[in-house]
Structure 1
Amino acid sequence: MITELDVELPDGRRVRAADTGEAGGPRAVAPLTVVWHHGSPHTGALYEPLLGAAAARGIRLVSYARPSYGGSTPQPGRSVTSAAADVVAVADALGIDRFAVIGTSGGGPHALACAALVPERVTGVVTLASPAPYTDAFDWFDGMRSPGALRAARKGRAARAAFADEEEFDPEVFVPTDWAALEGRWSAVLADVQASDAFGPDGLIDDDVALASPWGFEVSDVAAPTLLVHGELDRMIPRRHASWLLGRIPGAKLWARLDDGHVSVLDVVPDALDWLLEAAAPARS
């Protein structure tokens, strides 16, 4: 069962959250709570097969819609760091002390922000196909099939918003394994992207500007156990981004998926949840 709720924030905003609740009923305590950071664009909804993988492990799953997505209040000028305070507010509203985080695609940096900024709350972090912070250390756009939106975001919000008026989706950004996933086991992902259209383009615009701007923290401050997962065939966020993160997050591990692209990498979710359970074991003992 999924409970949806609006969480009121100190600045007057609200975020829409979703919660699967305590696994096994009111007397059971889930061995782990995982906060899911959605990609760009999405609504923040929880969907299969993510739900099934969590339920099979007794994991409590929580998600929230970033500002301007899924009914959450806009937050003009938000940065990647803004996610940490919003997640803490959601966790506090749900009575959750410690939790792990998973971020997919544009959600990856926001998951890392939680681990860097509220380390006392985060037991582990997994990113799936996450970008790295913008850097001159390598060609950040190299290997991206359609980098126009992020190039525009580098020039500021006005330029990114103007690009949105002419933006067209390039189906070649996804490899065949991605399309097979979207048309089959991960069809709910595509449905959620389509559902996000009802909330307008501002969430995606603000995400891109935040991702292409300074994040507001150093990834070297991420102290929690960290797993980076990336598809070698990813044409949206090339695997070079994961390699850069790997060299700068202390103790991070990289699972390179040889046959995966940007979406099919989600097939690793069950194994990633197992990894988070193991990472959280010392905190539960």
Structure 2
Amino acid sequence: MRLLTTGTIRTRSSQPFGHQHRPLLHTVVRRYSNTASVIGNPDPSERYHRTVKLPDGRTLTWAEAGSPTGFPCFMLHGFPGSRIEARGFEDIGRRHNPNRRPLDWPADLRYLARHLDLKRYSVLGGSGGGPHACTYILACDYAIPPDELSSVDLLCSAAPWEAGTRDVLWSARLGSMASTYCPSLTARLLDLLLGMSKRFMASDTGKKLIDGIAVKGAATASKEIPEAEKHPEAVAALREQLLRIFLEPFAQGSRGFVQEAYILTHPYGFHLEDVQFERKVKIWHGTKDTNSPIRMVRYMKERLPHCELYELEGETHFTIRKYLEEVVVKLVEKR
């Protein structure tokens, strides 16, 4: 029996998240066999056990891994080896799309809306989700029926860096540079720090710190903590909730975080002036927001057609949460 494995590895562009339009890897593993048919199927996945008849009567058995729409690459497996080795390429092939842009988001969101059988809906873009919400409006011009999107609002939205970065936090500038020039190293360092943070938060000192954050967060939102929530069991439950909020963005590692930092601090791939929507787009933003300075948001407001900016005096990126209910209620009222 002659064994061959064939696979295809897609190389990355010179830019960390360059202008490529297919997922990272599509692997096909092939095996030549002298038998007329394959007996048994040790792997339950159909993708790892596919066959085709060759002109001379032999059966070619092959496996496929990675993204079905990725650039194809044949991988020849080693000796001894088989097509099942393709399993090792599955995660590589489906890992974060290196060329993802805000403009890619509307198709994903609309697919979810259709899956849920939603005929009409609103979109609220919060913080880094603001630019993605703008792309959804833009998509109405060519891919989404206008009557499907009821309303769009932005809450403490990120703003384009083309507005100038003189009042941007140094940490944000550092993050942009790191995601641009050394994304892989940055992701590895963040993964290391994340592991250290998990161990710290499991300690008594870490638990006390998280409990303090919860109390401070309630005070920031102008909420009085009920007596029932002060019991040890309730405090522990709240602590677990905060930990999930903190850790979930890194559930698949830090690479997605680094990629998003790159996306939000580089040109979005569209002009704000091109975002046309027949209804008003409302932006709710705190004047003391240091994560997304109000000056940059005003720049965005001037360029977004049919846009209203509500400047919330003295509010920051985090204290603005007290207005969340008001924002959501007014957003869905426009349906």
Please give the TM-score of this superposition, normalised by the length of structure 1.
0.60
Answering whether residue 161 of structure 2 is matched by residue 146 of structure 1, we say no
Residues 245 and 154 (structure 1 numbering): CA distance in 2 closer, same or farther, change over 3 Å?
farther
The one of 262, 270, 274 equivalent to 2:329 is: 274
CA contact (8 A) 1:178 1:262 kept: no
For 1:251 and 1:127, the matched residues in 2 are separated by 13
Are the aligned partners of 2:106 and 2:139 in contact in 1 as well (CA < 8 Å)? yes
Is 1:102 matched with 2:155?
no
Q: Render the CA deviation track for 1:55-98: whole Å, top value 9, x for unaligned.
A: xxxxxxxxxxxxx9xxx963222111111111011111111122
Name the residue aligned to 1:16.
none
Return the letter of the residue paired with 1:209. Answer: Y
Q: Secondary structure at the match of 1:106?
A: helix
Q: Deviation digits for residues 185-214 of structure 1, max 9, x if unmatched?
A: 9x7566412333332112211111111222
CA deviation string 1:13-39 (max 9, x = no partner): 9xxxxxxxxxxxxxxxxxxxxxxxxxx
- Does the 8 Å contact 1:220/1:250 carry over to 2? yes
RMSD: 3.7
1:207 is aligned to: 260
**Alignment length (residue pairs):** 207
Give 1:115's aligned residue: 137
Q: Is the 8 A contact 2:221 2:322 kept in 1?
A: no
In structure 2, distance between residues paired with 1:260 and 1:177: 15
The 1:246–1:159 alpha-carbon spacing in structure 2 relative to 1, beyond 3 Å, is farther
5+ long unaligned stretches in structure 1 = 1-10, 14-67, 281-285
The aligned counterpart of 2:115 is 93
> Structure 1, residues 39-59: CA drift from partner, whole Å, max 9, x if none?
xxxxxxxxxxxxxxxxxxxxx
Cα distance in 1 for partners of 2:242, 2:312 equals 19
Q: Name the structure with the higher helix share.
A: 2
Distance 1:217 1:104 in 2: 19
User: Which residue type is aligned with residue 256 of structure 1?
Assistant: E
Any residues of structure 2 matched to 1:92-241 within 5 Å, and which? 92-118=114-140, 120=146, 121-135=148-162, 137-138=163-164, 140=165, 142-144=167-169, 146-147=171-172, 148-155=174-181, 157-158=183-184, 161=187, 164=190, 180-181=219-220, 191-224=244-277, 225-241=280-296
Look up the equivalent residue of 1:111 and give its one-letter code.
Answer: A
- What's the counterpart of residue 101 of structure 2? 79
Q: Mean alpha-carbon deviation: is it higher for 73-82 or for 204-213?
A: 73-82
Distance 1:264 1:83, change over 3 A: same
Aligned letter for 1:78?
R
Shift of 1:223: 2.5
Higher relative contact order (CA 8 A, sep 6+): 1
Counterpart-to-counterpart distance in 1, 2:244 and 2:314: 24
3-state secondary structure, aligned to 2:284:
strand
Partner of 1:243: 298
Q: SS of the residue aligned with 1:234?
A: coil
- Mapped to 1, the partners of 2:324 and 2:123 lie a distance apart of 12
Q: Which protein shows a greater Rg? A: 2
CA contact (8 A) 1:231 1:260 kept: yes
Describe the SS at the equivalent of 1:146. Answer: helix
Contact 2:176/2:262 (<8 A) preserved: yes
For the residue of structure 1 that corresponds to 2:124, the secondary structure is: strand
- Match of residue 18 from structure 2: none
State the identity %: 24
Tell me whether 103-112 or 118-127 shows the greater mean CA deviation: 118-127
3-state SS of the aligned residue for 2:303?
A: coil
2:295 partner amino acid: R
Where do 5+ consecutive residues of structure 2 fail to align?
A: 1-21, 25-90, 198-212, 225-237
Q: Which runs of 4+ in 1 moved over 6 A?
A: 165-169, 176-179, 182-185
Return the TM-score normalized by structure 2.
0.52
Task: Give, in whole Å, the separation in 2 of the partners of 1:12 and 1:77.
Answer: 8
